[in-house]
Amino acid sequence: MDIKDFSSGTYRQWSEYRSFSPALINHEWTWSDASLNTLLERATHRLGELNAFSLHVPDVAIFIRMHIAKEATTSSRIEGTQTKVEEALQPSKDIPPEQRNDWQEVHNYIVAMNQSVRQLVKLPVSTRLIQDAHRKLMRGVRGTTKLPGEYRRSQNWVGGASLKDAVLVPPSHEEVAELMSDLEKFLNNDAIHVPHLVRAAIAHYQFETIHPFLDGNGRVGRLLITLSLVSAGLLARPTLYLSAYFERNRELYYDNLSRARTHNALAQWLKFFLVGIEEIATEGVSTLRSVLALKDANERGPINNLGKRLPLARSLVEHLYHTPVVTVTDVAKALRVTYPTANVLLGEFVRIGIVQETSHRARDRRFVFGDYVKLFGE
């Protein structure tokens, strides 16, 4: 099918509302719009740069952890949470009680992403993988009573106060299993010749249109993008996340998804998506370059004037890349030194500007590796 001939689906009339049933997507896709070729080439090129760069960065797994923390906070913020990257890196006990629900949602996203990526070694992007991710996302947070890990068994809606005035009423729950099976086949169909970036874009649109869960669809849908790119081999490691792009272009994001349904404007959605891939991949390379520059600056910087404490100082710097928010107790345990030694060392790090104290309290003082965290800030 040429994308210009795309027909998004049909409406199904019920007594007081009508639901939207999207067309199936598991088939060949072509396009006569030459601008899509240019955008696809540019996005693929930038993604390739990010992929190659990530393969040559020492200890890249450390930095992926920060990427995932940023993605988790950004994706969750789209849904209304207020947790920041720095807070996401802290243990639950350090979070004020009124903020712990938001923190837990972000933490669940981190767990879901990490475990889903590990599962890709033996599983394709599939119903099982998607439902497992949803179960982890919903554990102990808002939506925990709304069938975690199971496709919905009732009608839901998007926007509005009820089905009568909803912005979108997704397909009936009776259609969800077939539609999700079709989406799964599309992502894994080797018999069709559709570039994987185009597949990821179409799959995200389709997932958001199906809205297969009672809650958490937005977060799962955004997580699905990265998982599909890793599964397809376009990313060797999970280093690209589109939530930041979607958030800073939130109105365009929702408008393009909506117009694909209401005006069959799938090509415009693809263009928006591919621009996002290029933009975020470019930012990803820039961030990794900045991380390497920071490492070099710290290795050549004031810690070399710490005399006999230099070996411990170097160990602490390396620990801070793993855990950029620490307490004195954390450092004492990680470096296997006494509390007073850890306290003095952190005091030196504050003095030379590597960490900043953020808690300003007598006990369990908290310190942040600020220059590093800022590289992944919102």
What are 251-305's pLDDT values in tens digits? 999 999 999 999 999 999 999 999 999 999 999 999 889 988 998 999 889 999 9
Q: What percent of the chain has pLDDT over 90?
A: 71
Q: Band of the pLDDT at 63, cuts 50, 70, 90?
A: confident
- Range of lowest pLDDT (63-67, 111-115, 149-153, 212-216): 63-67
Residue 362 pLDDT > 70, yes or no? Answer: no
The beta-strand segments (E) located in 5-57 are 9-13, 18-22
Contact 51, 230 (CB under 8 A): no
Q: Residue range 14-20: average pLDDT?
A: 93
First to last CA, the chain: 39
Residue 378 pLDDT > 60, yes or no? Answer: no
Domain boundaries, the chain: 3-25+33-288, 301-375
Residue 328 pLDDT > 70, yes or no? Answer: yes
Distance between CA atoms of residues 332 and 343, nearest Å = 8
Contact 24, 1 (CB under 8 A): no
Q: What percent of the chain has pLDDT over 70?
A: 99
What is the assigned CATH class of domain 3-25+33-288? mainly alpha
CA 286 from chain centre, in angstroms, equals 18
Architecture of domain 301-375: Orthogonal Bundle (1.10)
Q: Residue range 149-169: average pLDDT?
A: 93
- Main-chain phi, psi angles of 366, to 5 degrees: -110, 140
Distance between CA atoms of residues 76 and 83, nearest Å = 8
Higher pLDDT, 352 or 79: 352
User: Quick one: DSSP state of residue 20?
Assistant: E
DSSP string covering 98-110:
GGHHHHHHHHHHH
- This prediction has a pTM of 0.92
Indicate the residue type of 62: I
Sign of CA dihedral 318, 324, 329, 330: negative
